Amino acid sequence: MSHFALPTAVFEAPHIASFGLNHQTANMAVREQLAFSPQQAAEILAQMRHDFPQTEIALLATCNRTEWYLCSSEHLPNIGQWLTSQGYLQTEQVQSNTFYYQDRHAVRHLYRVACGLDSLILGEPQILGQLKSAYRLAKAQGTLGSALERLFQQSFAVAKQIRHSTAIGENPVSVAYAGVKLTHQFFDDHPQRCALIIGAGETGQLVARYLRDLNLKRIIIANRSLNNAQTLAEEVGGYAISLAQISEHLHEADMIFGAAQMDELILNNAHLQQSLKKRRHAFQVLVDLSLPRIFDNDIEQLENAFLYGIDDLEQIIDVNRENRQKAARQAEVMINLHSDDFIGWLNSKPQQLLIRQIRQQADVYRQELLGEAYRRLALGEDPALIIEQMSYKLTNKLLHSPSAMIHAIPPNHKEWLAIMADTFDKERNNH
């Protein structure tokens, strides 16, 4: 006869943690070391699934942040240590450039990220789409469990609620918007200007649309996939080229935007020297929105080339900051309340799991005895006798473990005896 037994771990509430680095904790040079493409992020999740099989894991990798979200009823893995063992970061870099939040603080951090409250530009909406991509990636890699599933879904709902009920969603901005806005410091005649955008992904598309709205004379889209460049060029009335053709058209551009995810530099000092010479040293403005960066820092040495990166944008642009900060304070109150709700649910998971396992085991007993009853009925035995015997067997199976538990309680532990007595007394009264 099998009897019901539960592992001790089910009585422990899971712990949530977030770990990583972002524009607030690390400079671009360090962030570049953890700049992962979607394919790389998928490979990392697959490796972590192997290394930490008892942990739910999601990985958010954007131009401004690389963050892990974890959940486990057991010991949470040390991601910083794992990163050093894999050669991504040095120990001192982990100590000085990363953050770690646990439980309510981790939940609150994710909600703030989803709402754009933790972004380089307060309230930018692009991060929510990136967070949804991270959720889908973790789900596809099999590293998402019930806790992170609920946490991410609730973060999406919180972000939606806050954008509808506060002014954080008004006058939306993004890194792409900030980069385009920056060019107004140099040009007041955009309809007479030409722009080159390197990259046709999400950021490149945003840049192209913002430039189209400024009625630029010409927009050139350069991309690894010429088909993708042509698709975007058709949308914004631009001209598509391959990456290999950049040097032929570089001198035409008054403003150059880097928006590609590449592992190598696309433009360096020599490229710009040639370009400026062809332009008779008419200046060019370069805005590198990529991470890793695709424009070499040496370009800054040139007198007529003005190079800006992601970290420069916050100091350069300030769009309706006062209104967004007021909305952010309202959003923080809502985030705190939702964080408490989630932690309350998380702490109740052991009880939920216990109840589920008790019911599942009870159903196993029921199926075993039902099968026995069917076999005996097929042999022609008395149905009334079978029903009576099966009812006794089911009662004995269900009460064996509670009875053994009561016998094991020392006499001086009266509070446990009172709890058990009260439990069965309520059962009797309810029926």
CA 166 from chain centre, in angstroms, equals 23
The verdict on whether residue 223 carries a ligand-binding annotation is: no
The verdict on whether residue 72 carries a ligand-binding annotation is: no
The verdict on whether residue 78 carries a ligand-binding annotation is: no
Two tokens at 262? 């590449």
The verdict on whether residue 64 carries a ligand-binding annotation is: yes
The verdict on whether residue 323 carries a ligand-binding annotation is: no
Tell me which of 63, 71, 115, 194 is the catalytic residue. 63
The verdict on whether residue 141 carries a ligand-binding annotation is: no
Catalytic, 115? Answer no
Work out whether the CA dihedral 196, 199, 205, 206 comes out positive or negative: negative
- In terms of Cβ atoms closer than 10 Å to its own Cβ (0-12, 13-18, 19+), residue 255 is buried
Cα separation, 413 vs 403, whole angstroms: 16
**Helix axes 349-378 and 321-347, enclosed angle (nearest 10):** 40
The verdict on whether residue 183 carries a ligand-binding annotation is: no
**What percent helix, strand, coil does the chain show, rounded to 5?**
60, 15, 25
The verdict on whether residue 126 carries a ligand-binding annotation is: yes
Bridge-based pairing of strands 239-242 and 218-223 is parallel
The verdict on whether residue 258 carries a ligand-binding annotation is: no
The verdict on whether residue 124 carries a ligand-binding annotation is: yes
Q: What is the CA radius of gyration of the chain?
A: 30
Cα separation, 315 vs 291, whole angstroms: 19
The verdict on whether residue 123 carries a ligand-binding annotation is: no
The verdict on whether residue 203 carries a ligand-binding annotation is: yes
- Numbered residues of the known binding site for NADP(+): 199-204
Q: Which residues are annotated as a binding site?
A: 62-65, 119, 124-126, 130, 199-204
Q: Which residues are catalytically annotated?
A: 63
Binding-site residues for substrate, in ranges, read 62-65, 119, 124-126, 130
